[in-house]
Structure 1
Amino acid sequence: MDANEDLSPRVMDANEDLSPRVGMEFDTLKDAWEFWLKFGRQMGFDARKHYINKNMNDEKITSKGFVCAKQGIRGPEKENMIRTRNQDDTRTNCPVKLYVSLVREIGKFKVIDFIEEHNHTLHLSETIYMMRSQRKISKVHARLIELASSSRIKPKATHKLMSREACGRTNLGFVELDQYNYLRTKQQKNLIYGQAICLLGYFQEQLTTNPSFQYAVQLDNVK
């Protein structure tokens, strides 16, 4: 466990220029996305990646769009599901966007389009921590969640304790739902891994009893 790992949510530099404008440049798409996340946190809107274009010859990314999470509209089936669950519609066809395009001569991404005005209510500073794009479980918190789960500590109690240590849930960086989802995904991966080990053991056993038995294993690409 790295004691020096940052446990806090994204912190904005007070001197950093967070005023998007056409013509501004970014060294990488990651830099552009991080900028959009910080801008969304500052303004109070949830950020989302939109589209991506690649060159057909070399597969290099030529342009990418970043939008407000409320961009677009829901289909009828999704709208009915939202109403059934008594939830607010998460899409309002918000026009806010930041589009960047690759300038091959300099190898940077330049802003070619930016729209600032939203068509919905923005988050208050007290609720920014609830936005999906601003939530992330750090490696240290992930280990603590796993340790608490293996010790049979209830997720709600674990989240409450970590919130206290972070001086409030607004500083924790993730909500209780993220913790539940993390544990569920972890358990599913462990189950699949356990099944694979059992199956591989069966194949090995068959090889010792039946010399004509053959099998092949194809591994997934790990990125």
Structure 2
Amino acid sequence: MADWSSYRLEDFLLFAPRAYWRLFELHNAALWPVQPFILLLGLGVAALVLRGAPRAGRLGFALLAAGWVAVGLLFFWQRYASINWAAPYLMPVFLAEAILLLLAGRGAIVPAAARWRFREWAGAGLVFFALALHPLLPLVFGRPLAQAEMIGLAPDPSAIATLGLLCLIPRGLLSGLALAVPVFWCLVSAATLHAMGEGQALVLLAAILVGLVAWALPPRGAPRGGKADAGPIRT
């Protein structure tokens, strides 16, 4: 039996990096021109959240939940499964996350930006990065923009945006469970990218760090003594 210590992470890759990035190019071409509409819709919801619109938070969670369903069905089932046999087994995880987001966002009230502290601003920063900056990463890492990854179409930005959005509502059991899935996926994706020799893996690790630290901080209005979960919490 071969010594397992002799294996490296890249030895477990089921596909070539070129095939992986080509998937996003094909995915974007098949769904064009939905990408500009996603960007405009996301920026519109973000503006409502910043203004403290009463139902903006619920709308954001509902749209992000729809994005997880779309990623599970359109990307994992129709695209990623063609080069990775494990993709169909991950699809139910994405569908379960959509349900968790709907439950966590039900009745959740996001405070207006004027009342935000570091926790909320860090979360908003993750959402903005996932929406507007993550699609530009191909240019940073020497790939064509046609391989851009967008919220609701690709798993990585959807997971990063979820980490951020969950920092805008109080902590609770449902929000904690909803947080576990994007953390899990970011770890899986970071390992995959690292195995391919892609520096983009660091982006996902940074998102996990920022998201977990921000989520662990007390939300706006919570006691300073670290008892953010005391009393009834809307999730």
Which category of TM-score, normalised to the shorter sequence, fits these structures?
under 0.3
What is the TM-score when the length of structure 2 is the normalising length? 0.24
Higher strand share: 1
Structure of greater relative contact order (alpha carbons < 8 Å, 6+ residues apart): 2
The higher radius of gyration belongs to: 1
More helix by share: 2
Q: TM-score w.r.t. structure 1 length?
A: 0.25
